[in-house]
Amino acid sequence: MTDSLRTAGPADLDALVEIENAVFVPPAYEPMSRRQFRWHISNPRAALIVCTRRGQVVGYALGLARAGSRYMRFYSLAVLSQAQGGEIGKRLFEAIETAARQRGLGVITEVRADNTRLHRRYLGLGYTEFEHKPDYYPDGCAAIRMKRSFGEV
């Protein structure tokens, strides 16, 4: 089974919205809207990468670079349940790190304080904590903000 990564385009909009609504369920998360995805697809400061399997989009990752910032914000990653359990999430995350490095940026992300598994994974990849944000997520859960630099950032 060959999965491939590529930059998202306008033809991916329906699939992106479908994945978002399947993976991010309120009240823990607020899914992005169709309008938000349309903006990210056309935004040159965004890195929106999709993973396809047999021609179908099964996951995506989004990174956002703000003008003047030394970091790209790793904003979101989602993989359809039937495509989870392999390397798709890892490959998508690495693609955002690569996009950041290509722009001479580090990466900033946040993790739910109750997601200890992901928190440990980020620490293992070289991310360091720099901020705790109480009541960050729609359900009231706190966030731990983390960052990683690549060389001279």
Q: Domain boundaries in the chain?
A: 3-107
The CATH topology of domain 3-107 is: Aminopeptidase (3.40.630)
Nearest to 125 by CA among 107, 140, 138: 107
Query: pTM to 2 decimals?
Result: 0.89
Angstrom distance (rounded) from CA 103 to CA 70: 9
Do residues 45 and 67 lie in contact, with contact meaning Cβ atoms separated by under 8 Å?
yes
| Digit-coded pLDDT (tens) for 31-74 | 899 999 999 999 999 999 999 999 999 999 999 999 899 999 99
Instruction: Give the containing element (helix H, strand E) for 71.
Output: strand 71-79
Rg from Cα positions in the chain: 15
Residue closest to 78 by CA, chosen among 119, 34, 112, 31: 31
Q: What is the pLDDT of residues 104-128, one digit of tens each?
A: 999 999 999 999 999 999 999 999 9
